[in-house]
Structure formats: structure tokens, C-alpha cells
């Protein structure tokens, strides 16, 4: 018997009927079209399916859709705003943190939770955060660099917002240089 659930995904509310056994990742991908959550191992090992649920990074292959009823989900599709990359996406692009890209959405969503909780992580903290996300292309160093880039960019953006709120002049825009 199907159950009616409500999922808010990337700020859009969806009401949907799901089977009790349906996994969140399949609901996101197959029913709602958020294909950024990739299916890899389906056993909580690879992290390719990582999304945030009420701000916490979760492996959506190990969450039943019914368990997510009433929660706020963010997928990689929700990171960009008004056509602009999120600093995390910018970091992966600039630091070459992705190659095949299969792991990348999950990595980004793990980084999303990390930087919300700890805006200035050191390398060890980044490596610890992403240890549940496997990548077989980049050797991880570029991913660590990407997260460090994102942390710096987010700090700069926050400083600029503070300056703007005080009516001052934005002087930190170029702190993180383009290539
Ligand atoms: Fe979910 Fe691998 S597909 S952890
Ligand atoms: Fe290929 Fe991570 S970029 S697995």
C-alpha cells in the first residue's frame, strides 16, 4: 500500500505517493527528476547518493522515502543560485576536483554540510568529512583543494555582505582570483 508523503526538495514542495520500501534516492531520481543523486553501491559505501536532509548529509540509498516525509532535502541541483555556481561548485571546477563526476554531487553535498557546520575546516577535517565518499579518479587532493577554495570564497562572500550591509565599498571581491 502506498503512503502519501511530502518532500521539500531544493525549496520546492512535492506531494507524492510511495511504497513503504521505496528508497529516497529512487524517489528523488525516478519520481521527481533530481538525478544529481547518483546510484552507486546502494549499500551506504560509496556516497554517490549523498543529499542533505534537514541540513545533515545522508546517503539517500539508505533512507526510505517514508522516513524523509516532512523533511527539507537539498540535492546538488539546489546549490546554484540564479544561474551562478555555488562556491563549492566553483571550487570543484577551479581545482579540478572532478573527472568522471560520478562521485561529485555526493562530495559536494557532504562538503555542503561540512561548511555549514565548520566554515573553516583544516585539511584533516575535510578528509575526515569526505571519508564516506569514494572517488576513483582524482586521488582526493583536488577535492580537498576544492573544499578549501569553497571555504575561502564563502568567507569572502560573507565579508562582502557585511561591508554592503554597513554601506561600505566592496573591497574583497577579488580575494579569490579567477584562473
Ligand atoms: Fe548510496 Fe553508494 S549509492 S552510498
Ligand atoms: Fe570519478 Fe570521482 S570524479 S569517481
- Ligand 1: distance of its center to the CA of 44 in Å? 5
Q: Which long-range contacts (CB under 8 A, 24 or more apart) does 168-177 make?
A: 176/149, 176/152
**Mean of pLDDT over the chain:** 94
Helices H / strands E in the chain, number of each: 5, 5
- Tell which one of 93, 96, 103, 109 to mutate to probe ligand 2, the residue whose CB is within 8 A of the most ligand atoms: 103
Ligand 2 atom at minimum distance from 107 CA: 2
The burial of 8, by beta-carbon neighbours within 10 Å (0-12 exposed, 13-18 middle, 19 or more buried), is given as middle
The CATH T-level fold of domain 87-163 is DNA polymerase; domain 1 (1.10.150)
The burial of 35, by beta-carbon neighbours within 10 Å (0-12 exposed, 13-18 middle, 19 or more buried), is given as middle
The answer to whether 31 touches 23, Cβ cutoff 8 Å, is: no
Q: What is the per-residue pLDDT across 47-61, written as a single tens digit (0 to 9) for each?
A: 999 999 999 999 999
- Is residue 29 within 6 Å of ligand 1 at its C-beta? no
Q: What is the per-residue pLDDT across 85-106, written as a single tens digit (0 to 9) for each?
A: 999 999 999 999 999 989 999 9
Phi, psi for 5 (deg, rounded to 5): -130, 160
Q: If you search the block for the grid coordinates 575535510, which residue do you land on? A: 126
The CATH T-level fold of domain 3-78 is Ubiquitin-like (UB roll) (3.10.20)
Residues 6 or more apart whose CB falls under 8 angstroms from that of 5 comprise: 15, 16, 17, 18, 65, 66, 68, 69, 70
- Ligand 2: distance of its center to the CA of 103 in Å? 5
- With a cut of 80, say whether residue 73 has pLDDT above it: yes
Instruction: Kindly report the pTM of this predicted structure.
Output: 0.92
- Ligand 2: distance of its center to the CA of 178 in Å? 24
- With a cut of 60, say whether residue 179 has pLDDT above it: no
Domain residue ranges in the chain? 3-78, 87-163
| 3 state SS of 44 | coil
What is the average pLDDT across 144-169?
92
- Tell which one of 36, 92, 135, 143 to mutate to probe ligand 2, the residue whose CB is within 8 A of the most ligand atoms: 135
Residues 6 or more apart whose CB falls under 8 angstroms from that of 31 comprise: 16, 18
- Is residue 137 within 6 Å of ligand 2 at its C-beta? yes
| pLDDT at residue 170, as a whole number | 57
- Residue 38 pLDDT class (50, 70, 90 cuts): very high
Same CATH topology for 3-78 and 87-163?
A: no
- Is residue 47 within 6 Å of ligand 1 at its C-beta? yes
Amino acid at each position: 500500500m502506498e503512503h502519501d508523503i511530502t518532500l521539500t526538495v531544493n525549496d520546492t514542495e512535492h506531494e507524492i505517493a510511495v511504497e513503504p520500501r521505496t528508497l529516497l534516492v529512487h524517489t528523488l531520481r525516478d519520481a521527481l527528476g533530481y538525478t544529481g543523486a547518483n546510484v552507486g553501491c546502494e549499500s551506504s559505501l560509496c556516497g554517490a547518493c549523498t543529499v542533505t536532509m534537514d541540513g545533515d548529509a545522508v546517503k539517500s540509498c539508505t533512507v526510505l522515502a517514508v522516513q524523509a516525509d516532512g523533511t527539507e532535502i537539498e540535492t546538488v541541483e539546489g546549490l546554484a543560485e540564479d544561474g551562478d555556481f555555488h562556491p563549492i561548485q566553483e571550487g570543484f571546477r577551479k581545482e579540478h576536483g572532478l573527472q568522471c563526476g560520478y562521485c561529485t554531487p555526493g562530495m559536494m553535498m557532504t562538503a555542503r554540510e561540512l561548511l555549514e557546520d565548520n566554515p573553516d575546516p583544516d585539511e584533516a577535517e575535510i578528509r575526515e568529512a569526505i571519508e564516506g565518499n569514494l572517488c576513483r579518479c582524482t586521488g582526493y587532493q583536488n577535492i580537498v583543494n576544492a573544499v578549501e577554495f569553497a571555504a575561502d570564497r564563502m568567507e569572502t562572500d560573507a565579508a562582502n555582505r557585511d561591508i554592503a550591509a554597513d554601506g561600505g565599498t566592496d573591497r574583497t571581491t577579488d580575494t579569490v582570483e579567477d584562473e
